[in-house]
Amino acid sequence: MSAPRRPADPPGLERYYVLTGGRSGPGGSAAGLDVATLVVSRPGPVPGPQHEHEEIVRRCREPLSVAELGAHLGLPFNILAVLLSDLLDAGRVEARDPVPAHVAGRGPDLALLEEVLSGLERL
Amino acid sequence: MDLKGFDRPGRHGGGDIRSVKVMIAGGFGTGKTTMVRSVSDIRPLTTEETLTQAGAGVDDLIGVADKSQTTVSLDFGKIGLSDSLVLYLFGTPGQERFWFLWNGLFKGALGAVVLVDTRRLASSFRAIEEMERQKVPFVVALNVFPDSKDYPVEEIRDALDIPAHIPVVSFDARDRASSRDVLVALVRHLRERSAVAVESR
């Protein structure tokens, strides 16, 4: 668990700039992405000029969280979110947000909690 | 290592896998990463948020004098709960003042475990306050270090001013079963809260 630090690698900033085309935040479709959101590829041509777009599609044939993608690709969350928004807009990936225990207006999801509990008890 | 459902291409096609998340909070050095490591199916990974839009106020707050980027890291692990459900555990940054920088860090989490080092109770005050402020349901887990004195749980509950309805358990973050039991205590607590909420509707 490290405290904030300044990047030791200034060229990283240039890489991010190129990757995102200078965009600083994700567009509408990716604005709600969470670190635990699962990303799954869908078939189709790969959009976006960046190798990283292809890499995301390849890695997400099986569902992978945004956090894992970030760790594997060495990209910070906000940069990854920009790339994911390209892929979401193009329909090349699907994003599935983590299931909350409590949905506003619907009350608590007891079945979900039971499922989590029995999964933990089997460990 | 069984990643339950993640390593079987074609079986589900990932079609029905869902995720849930739990936050592991607590002061610096209370054992958050140790717990994530001991209970995770995968070697813990680190994901980062680069704070590119830090305004003047934020720069002042985090003590960054110039306009360079700042990075906040989260260590995380995952546990396959079933063929269709995976639990992600995120260790929060040790310094709570950085939590707000990570937008929606606690949003959508089932709940949180706040780790306490009984030798340094004060280091987890902030984490407990923050859970209460953000209305994140939580349990308190006393990480018993080899040289920890044997404190009665209730004494620590009083010292930390933890309300009676919030479970306080002691455990060893290095031990997988012990860490698992803390997560079980959290989910049972969530279930009880939910049952009360359902009844009172």
Tell me how far apart the alpha carbons of residues B165 and B161 are, in angstroms, rounded to a whole number: 12
Low-confidence ranges of chain A (pLDDT < 50): 1, 6-10
Tell me how far apart the alpha carbons of residues B89 and B75 are, in angstroms, rounded to a whole number: 8
Tell me how far apart the alpha carbons of residues A95 and A40 are, in angstroms, rounded to a whole number: 7
* Domain assignment present for A9: no
Residues from chain A that touch B71, judged by Cβ atoms under 8 A, are 4-7, 76
Q: Taking the domains of chain B in order of start, what are their residue ranges?
A: 18-199
* Domain assignment present for A8: no
| A76·B49 Cβ contact <8 A | yes
Minimum CA–CA partner of B68 in chain A: A6
Q: In this predicted structure, what is the pLDDT of residue A19?
A: 75
- Name residues 56-115 of chain B within 8 A of A (Cβ): 62, 64, 68-76, 78-82, 85-88, 90-95, 98, 101, 104, 107-111
Domain that includes residue A113, residue range:
26-121
* Domain assignment present for A68: yes
Q: In this predicted structure, what is the pLDDT of residue B101?
A: 61
* Domain assignment present for A94: yes
This model of the complex carries an ipTM of: 0.83
Q: In this predicted structure, what is the pLDDT of residue B105?
A: 82
Instruction: State the CATH number of the domain containing residue A30.
Output: 1.10.10.10
* Domain assignment present for A80: yes
Q: In this predicted structure, what is the pLDDT of residue B73?
A: 85
Q: What is the mean pLDDT of chain B?
A: 82
Torsions phi, psi of A72, nearest 5?
A: -70, -40
* Domain assignment present for A17: no
* Domain assignment present for A6: no
Architecture of domain B18-199: 3-Layer(aba) Sandwich (3.40)
* Domain assignment present for A19: no
* For residue B10, pLDDT beyond 60: no
Find out whether A1 and B75 touch, Cβ atoms under 8 Å: yes
DSSP A48-74: SS-HHHHHHHHHTTS-EEHHHHHHHHT
User: How far B157 CA sits from the closest chain A CA (Å)?
Assistant: 25
**Total structural domains within chain A:** 1
| A36·B64 Cβ contact <8 A | no
Average pLDDT score over residue span B37-46 = 94
pTM over 0.95: no
Distant-in-sequence, close-in-space partners of B62: CB < 8 Å, separation ≥ 6: A4, B54, B70, B97, B98, B101
| A65·B19 Cβ contact <8 A | yes
**Which of B197 and B168 is assigned the larger pLDDT?**
B168
Q: List the helix and strand counts (H, then E) for chain A.
A: 5, 5
* For residue B3, pLDDT beyond 60: no
| B14·A76 Cβ contact <8 A | no
B52 pLDDT band, cuts 50/70/90, is: low
Q: In this predicted structure, what is the pLDDT of residue B67?
A: 46
Q: In this predicted structure, what is the pLDDT of residue B152?
A: 82
